[in-house]
Amino acid sequence: MADNGGVSDALGPYFVWDAYDGDAAWRPFTDLLDPAVAAERVDVSRRTLIGMFGLAEDVVPERVVASVLFLGVASRLLSPLLADAVLADAVPGGGVRAAGLRDLWWKPVPGGPWPVACGPVGTRPAGELFEVAVDGLVAPVLDVFRERFRLSPKVLWGNVASALAGAAGQLPGDPWPVVTGLLARPPLLGTATLRGRSLRRHNCCLYYRIPGGGTCADCVLTSRPERDLRPG
């Protein structure tokens, strides 16, 4: 379900919100505000990683998996709305879907991008993307992950910056001025440096702490020559 002329649907699963149909398999997104539910999803992701790569349980820290899972959740919340904002001028009556967490639903899956559905919502101006997506959707979930898994706010907000840059890299046109504007506002201010189409975080999502995980292209721990050789 997209309010941007269907462009999101062609960009891949991170950009798609289905239309909520009342199916019993959908769970309210507000469930994730319960630390026990967040912990259960982290446990599922952790056990999936352990099983896929044959890792010992003691080398896959819960808080590292929590950070990586939150990055994926942030991407699912932000990508569709960033597309709305970037493409708003090209769509008659375009704007950002005025979705709150109570309007969103998700389906449990062991890995990959979560299926997300959205109920009927109105539209807000593209200039209110920060208020809708960052303040309204991401921040409440971030607070749960920060408190439950004792994760640094710098790491988690850095994950949000990564999610925005990752989404921008897939969008047509020039989404970077929109991303630049978002990164100029606290609490995203200072989380990363954006030069052209290249973002470098000032922190790390911690994925490297999982054996074989390595560092991401935008990571503060990745050297410049190595970043230049990586796609995205």
Q: What is the pLDDT of residue 129?
A: 98
Report CA torsion sign: 150, 39, 11, 28.
negative
Looking at residue 43, its pLDDT comes to 97
For 41, the 3-state DSSP assignment is helix
Q: Which residues are CB-neighbours of 122 under 8 A, at least 6 positions away?
A: 97, 98
What average pLDDT does range 69-80 have in this prediction?
98
> Does residue 22 register a pLDDT over 80?
yes
- The reported pLDDT for the residue numbered 4 is 57
232, two tokens: 């995205």
Q: What is the mean pLDDT of the chain?
A: 91
Predicted confidence at residue 230, as pLDDT, reads 42
Cα(85)–Cα(40) distance, integer angstroms: 33
Expressed in angstroms, the distance from the first to the final Cα of the chain is 26
Query: What phi-psi label fits residue 23: left (phi over 0), alpha (psi between -120 and 50 degrees) or beta?
Result: beta
Instruction: Compute the distance between CA of residue 147 and CA of residue 221 in angstroms, rounded to an integer.
Output: 25
Identify the pLDDT of residue 225.
Answer: 40
Task: Place 5 in a pLDDT band, splitting at 50, 70 and 90.
Answer: low
- In this predicted model, what pLDDT tens digit does every residue of 189-206 receive, in sequence order? 999 999 888 899 999 999
Would you state the pLDDT for residue 86? 94
Alpha helix ranges (H) inside the chain: 7-11, 35-53, 62-87, 129, 139-149, 153-168, 176-183, 224-229
Q: What is the rounded CA–CA span in Å between residue 106 and residue 30?
A: 10
- Give the list of residues 6+ apart from residue 168 with CB closer than 8 angstroms, or none: 82, 86, 175, 176, 178, 179, 197
Q: Rg of the Cα trace of the chain?
A: 17
> What does the domain layout of the chain look like in residue ranges?
7-229
Q: What is the mean pLDDT of residues 31-57?
A: 96
- The pLDDT tens digits of the residues spanning 117-173 come to 999 999 999 999 999 999 999 999 999 999 999 999 999 999 999 999 999 999 998
Q: How many CB atoms lie within 10 A of CB 54?
A: 7
Least confident range from 87-91, 167-171, 173-177, 215-219: namely 87-91
| 19 or 230, greater pLDDT | 19
Using the predicted structure, report yes or no on whether residue 27 has a pLDDT greater than 70: yes
> What is the phi/psi pair of residue 192, to 5°?
-160, 160
d(CA 18, CA 23): 12
